[in-house]
Chain A
């Protein structure tokens, strides 16, 4: 069974602190995505990670991918309140069962950044 596991599922941080969200997946994949979702809103693409060792940064967020370990991380640096949202990782199982571009999502990490 294909699995994408995120942890933690809930994260309460203080502003200014650093933390990492982990995303483990159980199948080979050539693409991994991170999305942000605000309450009642749709998904906003944050990062597309394509290869082993890929690292991308945008503001206070940095994402990395280790395809050998089947692990991606989303690192938050000096958190601010505006980062409060739910963060999903999703694995693209492009060639699985002939379905191209099928995303399997993790359960999401609900981040709350408090003053």
Chain B
């Protein structure tokens, strides 16, 4: 089945220790998104790619970076995680030209804990 896959599902890191979260998709969608969702809050868009065109949200901290080496994969790098970065990180995809039933398709998420 076509899907959005995130690894790992749970990640524990130490304060200040870089961490990388990964997302892959078999939907062949042009657009990939990274969201941060803190407990009991709505998802917040960090950045997204249209193919290789990177779009950063204005309030995304510099501590967060992203890479998209090819259509299928996208990575979220947190260079120096702080306690406030503990959250669920959601990857989503969508086609560039959307049909009536298209939405953003979310992966299962990676829950990040910062010690």
For window 75-115 of B, CB contacts with A under 8 Å fall at 90, 94, 96, 98, 100-109, 111
For window 8-57 of A, CB contacts with B under 8 Å fall at 33, 35, 40-45, 48, 50
What CA separation (Å) do A42 and B91 show in the bound complex?
A: 9
State whether A105 and B100 are in contact (beta carbons under 8 Å apart), knowing that A40-B111, A41-B109, A43-B106 are contacts in the complex: no
Q: Is B42 an interface residue (CB 8 A)?
A: yes
- Please name all residues of chain A whose beta carbon is closer than 8 Å to the beta carbon of B27 when the two chains form the complex: none
A: contact size bracket: 20 to 34
State whether A41 and B108 are in contact (beta carbons under 8 Å apart), knowing that A102-B45, A103-B45 are contacts in the complex: yes
B88 to chain A, nearest CB (A): 8
Are B41 and A45 in contact (CB-based, < 8 A)?
no
What CA separation (Å) do A45 and B90 show in the bound complex?
A: 14
Q: Is B31 an interface residue (CB 8 A)?
A: yes
Are B102 and A103 in contact (CB-based, < 8 A)?
no
Enumerate 15 A-B pairs (CB-CB under 8 Å) in ascending A order: A33-B104, A35-B106, A42-B107, A43-B106, A45-B104, A45-B105, A48-B102, A48-B103, A50-B100, A100-B50, A101-B94, A103-B104, A107-B41, A107-B42, A108-B42
